Amino acid sequence: MFDLAGRTALVTGARGGIGRATALALADAGADLVLWGREALPAQHSGAARPAGQSLADVAAQIQARGRAASVVCADLDDAEVVREAAHRVLDRHEVDILVNNAGTIRRAPAAETTYADWRAVLDVNLDAVFLLCQLFGAPMRERGGGKIVNVASLLSFQGGVRVPAYAASKHGVAGLTKALANEWAGVGVNVNAIAPGYIGTANTAALRADPRREPEISTRIPAGRWGEPEDVAGAVVFLAAPASDYVHGHVLVVDGGWMAR
Ligand code: NAP
């Protein structure tokens, strides 16, 4: 029920955090991987200002060491034309059975101080690119009569959050889009679902974890008593990518240490 041998999965934002853990978990379940990121080489080679961590090439090597195929596609998700062009390059070379729309960005500021440029930057990556990739990779899935799409939503698909208005709007949008696509595509064998991670220790939450007021507010509210690790989230993605979830459509699966139950 959880065997992904013979399947090809595309994961966006696969260089680190939840994306990297997810890509490795999908490979462990037997899938070959297409890793979508901004740059293949380590940041010191590209000269880009990028959070420390592994390169996409490193992640690809870790997947190949597990005996699975891994290729890399580099394209910024903030430009619809670039996204379309890169997606077609992937589609020319791969039959993608599993699409994990993981990449995401966040800008922290009160709504009154959020610039339109910041609003757009978040919506472009977190929602517009997700829509485009679902459309582009969903088309051959529908033709084949099978496929799995897993979008990465958030607790801020349900809650408003604190000083992240564009992020909350984008993630509510991801949940809505997931359900809308599930309504349309469940009947042709394509599963569209989402996971909603809780508070996970990644670059996305580095500022929160460093905030002496917000960090204890958050950690003391989590019933599990700790922040999540990227690996805590990856198993839920494998489930939604695997035959085990064939009758699950339009679900937003929270993986949050109990936050939403509180
Ligand atoms: P992360 O380590 O910052 O990962 C975000 C990924 O998105 C990175 O690989 C990043 O690429 C990529 N990305 C950002 N902007 C991009 C762009 N314009 N074009 C292409 N790629 C871009 O943080 P994470 O926590 O693992 O985030 C993964 C997903 O989980 C996001 O959708 C996030 O919103 C969601 N999420 C996270 C949490 C949490 O607590 N951490 C909670 C709920 C939801 P680079 O590697 O090049 O920077």
Count of structural domains, the chain = 1
Structure tokens, 106: 């966040």
18 in ligand 1 pocket by Cβ < 6 Å? yes
Report yes or no on 174 lying in a domain: yes
Which residue owns the Cα nearest ligand 1 atom 2? 17
More confident residue, 147 or 42: 147
Residue 85 lies in a domain: yes
User: CA 193, CA 175: separation in Å to the nearest integer?
Assistant: 9
Ligand 1 centroid to residue 187 C-alpha, Å: 31
Q: Is residue 129 part of a domain?
A: yes
157 lines ligand 1 (CB under 6 A): no
In a domain, 63, yes or no: yes
The region, left, alpha or beta by phi > 0 then psi within -120 to 50, assigned to residue 92 is alpha
Whether pLDDT at 42 is above 70: no
Rounded Cα gap, residues 228 and 201, in angstroms: 6
String of DSSP letters for 7-56: -EEEEES-SSHHHHHHHHHHHHTT-EEEEEES-SS-HHHHT----SS--H
145: alpha, beta or left, given left = phi > 0 and alpha = psi -120 to 50? left
pLDDT at 48 over 60: no
**Is it the case that residue 262 has pLDDT exceeding 80?**
yes
Name the phi and psi angles at 253, rounded to 5: -90, 110
Helix count and strand count (H, E) for the chain: 10, 7
What are 87-142's pLDDT values in tens digits? 999 999 999 999 999 999 999 999 999 999 999 999 999 999 999 999 999 999 99
Say which residue, 78 or 48, is predicted with more confidence.
78
pLDDT of residue 13: 98
Closest atom of ligand 1 to CA, residue 198: 42
Beta bridge partners of 191: 148
User: What does the pLDDT average to over 151-168?
Assistant: 98
Pocket of ligand 1 contains residue 257 by CB under 6 Å: no
Is residue 1 in a domain?
no
Q: Which is the closest atom of ligand 1 to the Cα of 199?
A: 40
Distance 103 CA to ligand 1 centre (A): 4
Q: How far is the CA of 165 from the centre of ligand 1 (A)?
A: 17
Q: Is the CB of residue 58 below 6 angstroms from any atom belonging to ligand 1?
A: no
Residues belonging to the active site: 167
Q: Measure 112 CA to ligand 1 centroid, in angstroms.
A: 24
Residue bearing the CA closest to ligand 1, atom 4: 17
Which has the closest alpha carbon to 244: 70, 29, 49? 29
Arithmetic mean of pLDDT, 187-211: 97
Indicate whether residue 185 lines ligand 1 (CB < 6 A). no
**Element holding 71 (H helix, E strand):** strand 70-74
In Å, how far are 97, 99, 132, 182, 188 from 38, measured between CA atoms?
A: 22, 17, 17, 28, 32
Containing domain of residue 222, as a range?
Answer: 8-261
Average pLDDT value for residue range 230-239: 98
What span, in angstroms and rounded, lies between the C-alpha atoms of 167 and 55? Answer: 25
**88 CA → ligand 1 middle, Å:** 22
φ/ψ of residue 74, rounded to 5: -115, 120
Between the alpha carbon of residue 132 and those of residues 71, 107, 136, 236, 246, the distances in Å are 21, 22, 6, 23, 23
In a domain? residue 2: no
The H-or-E segment that residue 195 falls in is strand 190-197
CA distances from 243 to 7, 27, 29, 249 (A): 11, 15, 12, 12
Indicate whether residue 222 lines ligand 1 (CB < 6 A): no
Residue 49 has pLDDT above 80, yes or no: no
Output the CA torsion sign for 115, 109, 131, 51: positive
Q: Is the CB of 204 under 6 A from ligand 1?
A: yes
Model pLDDT, residue 47: 47
CATH code for the domain of 39: 3.40.50.720
How many C-beta neighbours within 10 Å does residue 88 have? 11
pLDDT-based confidence at 39, cuts 50/70/90? Answer: confident
Q: Do the domain assignments include residue 132?
A: yes
